[in-house]
Amino acid sequence: MNANKRVFQFIFFSLLLYLVFSYINIAYRKKWEPFDRINLISDVIVKPRENVALHQNRYTSGSKKVKQNNDEKKNDSLTMHSNASIDEAFMTASDSSKEKVIVSAEALPLNLNQSDIISFNIDSESVALSRFIKKLIALKNGKKTKVRIAYLGDSMIEGDLLSQTLRSLLQQAYGGSGVGFVPIASQVAQFRRTAIASSSANWRDFNFKNTKKQDLFISGHVFFSSGNDWVKIKDNTSKDTSIVLGKYLLHGPATDSASVVVNKKTMMLERTSLFNRTLVAHNKDKSIVVSSADRKLPLFGLSFESDQGVIVDNFSFRGISGLELGKINADLLKEINEQNPYDLIIFQYGVNVLYKPDDTNFTWYKRAAIPVVKK
């Protein structure tokens, strides 16, 4: 008998049997824990909503003022949370009655307070992320400025996923070109489509997982040459050959004799700060090759960016919870904020703390994450 046919039959009949048991489990309300967790058709079955205590309040735009501290903050940050139980307890609006169904504080799960949830449905007079919005408006009005966004996350944004769409939409609406930050080396370099990158195999990569001593960049990495290493990166975000992009080498402190070779031309690096942005090329070329023989020169990556518009930097690191960002040197962060300031910081983590299927209380993560976000 053909081996491929046997494999097909095995999978087909296993799936059929699985569907039958899944149907029986729901239709006859048979409780069997393995099928309760992985029932194949559970997502298409309409279940009665849980009795959540709700009360209706007529909403008026002047009834509540949300405290705004944006003018006192240097950076706005946007924290993304993912919580399935919030979905049922979220505010909804009725177009006909203009009434808001608001969750009572007692009904919120996981010790949440009503003030912990921001409903972006509400037509409030208060503006969220006011500094960020003002800069976007300035771009729209033709002002030559730059809006920089840091998208921090785990493997959910690896390979520029999600962030590439955000970048594309914002650049179409408000201008700007370039992929932004690209690390010296990456385990997903072949997967990423917005930047085509290749590098030598001997770069020494210190990161969140293998060191506590090095001054790591916000990408969670710092790279050192093993003696003669190179990286070639091509910005693949646009096919327009008339666009001029600045190519910046992001690096740590350079010694007196530190240098890199950029497109076969030697360039001296004289800046000794913990963080430095060195313009190594400013032209219409999409690609750049940088090599280093300096074993002591810390390199973070390259940034491809236009002189104005929106720049979105992807900072993904596989398998972390976001708490690792607390390890970054505060003095290094201050220098990044001076030379490479961000107008919006997106902090998207959480999947890697869901390793226990029965856990429902993550207040421990909240306690640990708040100092990291503040830092």
- CA-to-CA distance for 289 and 265, rounded, in angstroms? 10
**φ, ψ at 136 (rounded to 5°):** -65, -40
**Which has more confidence, 42 or 226?**
226
Q: How far apart are the first and last CA of the chain?
A: 64
Report residue 216 as tokens.
């790591």
Strand partners, 365: none
**Tell me: the pLDDT tens digits for 178-225?**
999 999 999 999 999 999 999 999 999 999 999 988 899 999 999 999
Q: Between 3.20.20.210, 3.40.50.2000, 2.60.120.10, 2.60.120.1360, what CATH number should domain 130-374 receive?
A: 2.60.120.1360
54 burial type by CB count under 10 A (0-12 exposed, 13-18 middle, 19+ buried):
middle
**Which has more confidence, 242 or 358?**
242
Is the pLDDT at 332 greater than 60? The verdict is yes
Q: Name residue 257's amino acid.
A: S
- CA-to-CA distance for 99 and 154, rounded, in angstroms? 38
Domain range annotation of the chain:
3-44, 54-116, 130-374
Instruction: Specify whether the CB–CB gap between 121 and 113 falls below 8 A.
Output: no
259 burial type by CB count under 10 A (0-12 exposed, 13-18 middle, 19+ buried):
middle
- Record the pTM: 0.70
Say which range, 163-167, 288-292, 357-361, 369-373, has the weakest mean pLDDT.
Answer: 357-361
Give the model's confidence band at 48: pLDDT under 50 very low, under 70 low, under 90 confident, else very high. low
CA quadruple 192, 196, 198, 203: dihedral sign: negative
Helix (H, G, I), strand (E, B) or coil at 342: coil
Report which of 185, 184, 157, 314 is spatially closest to residue 237, judged by C-alpha positions.
Answer: 314
Q: What is the pLDDT of residue 89?
A: 38
Kindly give, in sequence order, each residue whose CB lies less than 8 Å from that of residue 48, ignoring residues fewer than 6 positions away.
none
Q: Quick one: average pLDDT of 248-270?
A: 94
Is the pLDDT at 37 greater than 90? The verdict is no
Give the model's confidence band at 23: pLDDT under 50 very low, under 70 low, under 90 confident, else very high. confident
**φ, ψ at 180 (rounded to 5°):** 80, -140
Q: If you average pLDDT over every residue of the chain, what do you get?
A: 82
Give the model's confidence band at 87: pLDDT under 50 very low, under 70 low, under 90 confident, else very high. very low
Helix (H, G, I), strand (E, B) or coil at 232: strand
Q: Name residue 117's amino acid.
A: I
Strand partners, 213: none
- CA-to-CA distance for 111 and 85, rounded, in angstroms? 12
Is the pLDDT at 244 greater than 70? The verdict is yes
Is the pLDDT at 109 greater than 70? The verdict is no
Going through 154-192 in order, the beta strands assigned E by DSSP cover 180-183
Instruction: Specify whether the CB–CB gap between 231 and 198 falls below 8 A.
Output: yes
Going through 59-190 in order, the beta strands assigned E by DSSP cover 76-80, 92-93, 99-103, 146-153, 180-183
- CA-to-CA distance for 260 and 300, rounded, in angstroms? 13
**φ, ψ at 56 (rounded to 5°):** -100, 135
Strand partners, 234: 196, 287
Q: Quick one: average pLDDT of 131-137?
A: 93
